[in-house]
Amino acid sequence: MESVILQCDEVTVDFDGFKAIQGMNLSLERGELRFLIGPNGAGKTTMLDVICGKVKPTAGKVVFSKTIDITRKKEHQIAELGIGRKFQTPSIFPTLTVYENLEIAMKQKRGVFAAMRARMRMEDHDRIEAQLEMIGLETKADWRAGGLSHGEKQWLEIGMMLLQEPEILLLDEPVAGMTDNETEKTGELLKQISRTQSIVVVEHDMEFVRNFASKVTVMHEGKLLKEGSMEDVQRDDRVAEVYLGK
Ligand code: ADP
């Protein structure tokens, strides 16, 4: 387990007596694209909330990069350590250009690491250009972000996250509402990102999961139901049962 970047041990979340998560374990390797699936109410989003510090578990432990216990850390501290969260609704600045949005994301990062302020100036433009290319928006740098398509807005937000150099990206249904073409491009983008960073994706689109997942974690009623390749998961009778609602 040399390359474990995130370890969640026996995480439990109790919302006023209702256990949304019960003793959940999740171990994520560096450079992994992991899909978290399960029926509605399984606890997937709550699990992302726990990892990014938005929800504090009632029991259990979350350890980042093997030694850093982040269970009780504040959301902004966890973000600064390198865990980025993207929600379904993009948090971009619609009246600013695509380029300006990326610039803001980079400055936010620099604010945190004030010591780095002196250098980077020359690199800034190149980094933004490289990011624009990666998210496929190099010809739209001067567009107002509000004028982008739904898919493009999602990619812009992913680009903004990447400029903050997270080690882990947590994504909540990134392809919801996208066209087939946009979905395919998003999958390719996530694959590319996962060469260097780790990603956890909560996803309902099973075709998307089938096409891009190497490892899938299935949750049900706040617990781990099954983990493995998509083939393993699809072959499991218990997984079929919870999806068919039996
Ligand atoms: P999923 O993402 O798998 O659909 P969630 O993590 O959103 O599931 O929710 C798991 C369960 O916890 C659901 O039954 C949901 O209603 C409940 N839940 C989520 N957030 C809260 C909250 N803040 N207060 C009370 N119950 C919640």
Q: Ligand 1, closest atom to CA 21?
A: 10
**Residue 44 pLDDT:** 97
Most confident of 2-6, 184-188, 235-239: 184-188
Nearest in space to 19 (alpha carbons), one of 52, 60, 54: 60
The total of other beta-carbon atoms located within 10 Å of residue 15's CB is 11
Average pLDDT over residues 22-40: 96
Nearest Cα residue to atom 13 of ligand 1: 41
Across the beta sheet with 198-202, the strand order is 83-86, 168-172, 198-202, 33-37, 215-220, 223-228
Tell me how far CA of residue 179 lies from CA of 55, 98, 134, 182, in angstroms: 32, 21, 19, 5
**Residue 124 pLDDT:** 85
**Residue 88 pLDDT:** 74
Cβ–ligand 1 contact at 43 (below 6 Å): yes
Average pLDDT over residues 27-41: 95
Q: Ligand 1, closest atom to CA 40?
A: 4
**Residue 86 pLDDT:** 87
Do residues 189 and 158 lie in contact, with contact meaning Cβ atoms separated by under 8 Å? yes
**Residue 243 pLDDT:** 81
pLDDT (tens digit per residue) in 11-21: 999 999 999 99
pLDDT (tens digit per residue) in 112-153: 555 455 455 667 889 999 999 999 999 999 999 999 999 999
Q: Residue 103: what residue type?
A: E
Do residues 169 and 197 lie in contact, with contact meaning Cβ atoms separated by under 8 Å? yes
Q: Which domains does the chain have, with CATH numbers?
A: 1-81+201-246 (3.40.50.300)
Non-local (6+) Cβ contacts of 148 within 8 A are: 98, 137, 140, 156
User: Tell me, what DSSP letter sits at residue 145?
Assistant: G
**Residue 118 pLDDT:** 46
Non-local (6+) Cβ contacts of 156 within 8 A are: 90, 92, 98, 101, 102, 135, 137, 145, 148
User: HSE-up of 30 (CA within 13 Å, CB side)?
Assistant: 11
Nearest Cα residue to atom 27 of ligand 1: 15
Cβ–ligand 1 contact at 88 (below 6 Å): no
Tell me how far CA of residue 154 lies from CA of 52, 188, 190, 201, in angstroms: 19, 14, 12, 14
Nearest Cα residue to atom 14 of ligand 1: 41
CA of 43 to the centre of ligand 1 (A): 6
| CA gap 160, 104 in Å, rounded | 8
pTM: 0.92
Cβ–ligand 1 contact at 42 (below 6 Å): yes
* DSSP-derived 3-state class of residue 98: helix
pLDDT (tens digit per residue) in 71-120: 999 999 999 999 999 877 778 999 999 999 999 888 877 665 554 554 55
**Residue 25 pLDDT:** 98
Cβ–ligand 1 contact at 17 (below 6 Å): no
| CA gap 198, 130 in Å, rounded | 20
**Residue 245 pLDDT:** 62
Q: Ligand 1, closest atom to CA 202?
A: 2
